Amino acid sequence: MGKEIKFSLVYRDMWQSSGKYMPRVDQLVRVAPEIIKMGCFARVETNGGGFEQINLLFGENPNIAVREWCRPFNEAGIQTHMLDRSLNGLRMSPVPADVRKLFYKVKKAQGTDITRCFCGLNDPRNIIASIKYAKEAGMIAQATLSLTVSKVHTVEYYCNLAEELIANGADEICLKDMAGIGRPHSLGLIVKHIKTKHPDIIVQYHGQTGPGFTPASILEVCKNGCDIIDVGMEPLSWGTGHADVIMVQEMLKDAGFKVPEIDMVAYMKVRALTQEFMDDFLGYFIPESNRRLQSLLIAPGLPGGMMGSLMNDLKDNLASINKSLVKSGKPEITTDELLIKLFDEVAYVWPRVGYPPLVTPFSQYVKNLALFNIMQLTKGKERWSMIADNIWDMILGKAGKLPGEVAPEIKALAKEQGREFYDGDPQALYPDKLDEFKKEMQEKGWDFGQDDEELFELAMHPEQYRALKSGKAKADFEAELAKEKAAANKTAAPAAITPQDLQVEVNGEKFLVKVSYGDTSSTKATTEASPKATSGEVQSIVSPLEGKFYLTNSSSEIPVKVGDVVKKGDLVGYIESMKTYNAISADKDGTIVEICFANGESVDEEDVLFKLQ
């Protein structure tokens, strides 16, 4: 019998890779015992990345979800692992060092054994800090190679990165093939190098299956010494998800490897529960195209996790683009046509912004920049004329060192806008803030939670956590779900679900939000802080795209208010769209006489955000 290969089930990531949401805690608790009964998993992924934000989005406390999901695996002796974004922690933007340190302490206390720390730029400085914090908290530090294919991302590049991470304390190495475009032979060479020089270092392979390389890649890395393979299972395997455990088991068994057996009665139960969760509500957010393999994904290299939500995002973007095309007398395009345009534009944008590995958050940044270019070109504007601030931070080096060079036209644009490139330690740009969040918790009378986990949640996801505490997050999710069900059934939402008025406090401001569940149009909000405009000529600042409106992007910013005088070019707010914050500036001088939306409210392109006199 050959080398033993173990399996790790990425159950929550299966959902993120397929669609927008993942199961509630009550559903996770139901499926966990059956996963254990399958008897074939040495590890199960229990948290990470976007998972906690998704809990918050549908009004569920992530700390409860993580503890309840980890507990049965802890008791069964199955290791639990999570994904973290190093400098970005569990979110899309950089996190202060004191919050990062608390992060690992909280997750260890909640039952997570292993953290898979990665940097979307493969900047070892970001990963090494996470290795240190994780080990101090008593976790196993699995350092990650974020895989992609370009002229700078060679086998030698990844072997050198692995050496540096191991030298700095990494307990394990993960090959994170997030787009599934890693070429099998090259992946085998990387694993061979690691295992030859460091035979005691565990190597785990994670591969999305979208383009179709993954089964060959799994076989190749196993032949070269890989120890653990991440797998999915039906009905969510394949497509933008992960290779199915049954297929992987049979393939490796045939190749002479020692692999665990699967209890098929339990397998069928997990499969049935997964389908039940899809039928309940999760399936409304899983586009059918994400269930298929497509070689078109090889060229853009977009990851499965991002593709899971991309098709949902494209619905709104397509409407906006077609609106502009109709205005200019041009024919509308289909979703497939937009997808091809997007893939082509990603291929154009990616090398020009320095070849960042296409993994969260930088896959979203490159994709968003490509989509913004398409939208602006459709409107007759220039490429690069809409670049969100956090995309600029990536370009300027404020999130870490880019693998490649930024194109001359982007450098010229940065200089024109007075933006400076940065080559220091990214963490130095984001000072400690935990004391600020402690003060907010105390002022609002909020419980810090077991092991300070509620403090951590506020510090990691401020806006989303405030929306959870106010009840607004749950109301918004229920409205979104009612809209999706109504669209799917081509009927109005059930009459029994009635509108609600909620008193919502966000960033210290109180808002009255009316949620109309049966209405498929965007929900609007009225706010006590925004009186109607008074007499005189009124001018408007409108939204350049669809998304969610925010007055600020961080606790250090002071929001504008009614009565403030603004000058042309002054920052007045943000539109959060596709996980990036797009700054909105005044395009004229004036006094703000009305703020037309509350924080976190959905807006459409060309909605009036502010009225000026």
CATH of the domain at 200: 3.20.20.70
Average pLDDT rounded to a whole number, residues 146-171: 96
Output the pLDDT for position 1: 64
CB–CB of 142/113 below 8 Å? no
Q: Same structural domain for residues 447 and 340?
A: no
* Among candidate residues 397, 427, 457, the one where a domain is terminated: 427
CB–CB of 193/274 below 8 Å? no
473-493 pLDDT, tens digit per residue, is 888 888 888 888 888 776 444
Q: How far apart are the first and last CA of the chain?
A: 80
Q: Same structural domain for residues 214 and 342?
A: no
Average pLDDT rounded to a whole number, residues 176-181: 90
Q: Same structural domain for residues 183 and 71?
A: yes
Tell me, yes or no, whether 459 lies in a domain: yes
Output the pLDDT for position 581: 78
Output the pLDDT for position 58: 85
Output the pLDDT for position 431: 94
Tell me, yes or no, whether 236 lies in a domain: yes
CB–CB of 507/573 below 8 Å? no
Q: Kindly report whether the peptide bond that precedes residue 33 is cis, defined as omega within 30 degrees of 0.
A: no
Q: Same structural domain for residues 34 and 182?
A: yes
206-223 pLDDT, tens digit per residue, is 998 888 899 999 999 999
Q: Same structural domain for residues 306 and 372?
A: yes
Average pLDDT rounded to a whole number, residues 185-193: 98
Output the pLDDT for position 295: 72
Tell me, yes or no, whether 289 lies in a domain: no
Q: Which residue did the predictor score with more confidence, 151 or 73?
A: 73
| Average predicted confidence (pLDDT) for the chain | 86
Amino acid at position 568, single letter:
K
Q: Same structural domain for residues 401 and 273?
A: no
Q: Same structural domain for residues 271 and 321?
A: no
Q: Same structural domain for residues 223 and 344?
A: no
Average pLDDT rounded to a whole number, residues 318-339: 81
Tell me, yes or no, whether 300 lies in a domain: yes
Which is nearest to 121 in space by CA: 406, 412, 432, 342?
A: 406
Rounded distance between C-alpha atoms, residue 152 and residue 350, angstroms: 12
- The band of 520, judged by pLDDT with boundaries at 50, 70 and 90, is very low
Q: Same structural domain for residues 224 and 243?
A: yes
For the chain, helix (H) and strand (E) counts, in that order, are 20, 19
Q: Same structural domain for residues 110 and 228?
A: yes
Q: Same structural domain for residues 277 and 334?
A: no
Angle at 308 between CA 149 and CA 120, to 5 degrees: 40
Average pLDDT rounded to a whole number, residues 151-158: 95
* Among candidate residues 257, 284, 311, the one where a domain is terminated: 284
366-412 pLDDT, tens digit per residue, is 888 988 898 888 888 889 988 888 899 999 999 999 999 999 999 99
Token pair listed for 205: 């392979």
- Give the lowest-confidence range in 155-169, 275-289, 521-535, 569-583: 521-535
Tell me, yes or no, whether 128 lies in a domain: yes
Examine the pLDDT at 103 and tell me if it is beyond 90. Answer: yes
Rounded distance between C-alpha atoms, residue 174 and residue 325, angstroms: 45
37-61 pLDDT, tens digit per residue, is 999 999 999 888 778 888 888 889 9
* Among candidate residues 284, 309, 332, the one where a domain is terminated: 284
Tell me, yes or no, whether 81 lies in a domain: yes
586-599 pLDDT, tens digit per residue, is 888 899 999 999 88
Could you give the number of structural domains in the chain? Answer: 4
Examine the pLDDT at 512 and tell me if it is beyond 60. Answer: no
DSSP helix/strand/coil, 395: helix
CB–CB of 575/613 below 8 Å? no
- The band of 231, judged by pLDDT with boundaries at 50, 70 and 90, is very high
Q: Same structural domain for residues 583 and 485?
A: yes
- CATH number for the domain spanning 540: value is 2.40.50.100
Token pair listed for 566: 């603004």
- Give the lowest-confidence range in 45-49, 135-139, 520-524, 558-562: 520-524
Average pLDDT rounded to a whole number, residues 184-202: 98
In degrees and rounded to multiples of 5, residue 565 shows phi and psi of -95, 130
Pairing of strands 571-577, 539-542: unpaired
Output the pLDDT for position 533: 41
Percent of the chain with pLDDT over 90: 54
272-292 pLDDT, tens digit per residue, is 999 999 999 988 888 777 777
Examine the pLDDT at 302 and tell me if it is beyond 60. Answer: yes
Residue-number span of the structural domain to which 456 is assigned: 433-470
Tell me, yes or no, whether 1 lies in a domain: no
Tell me, yes or no, whether 102 lies in a domain: yes
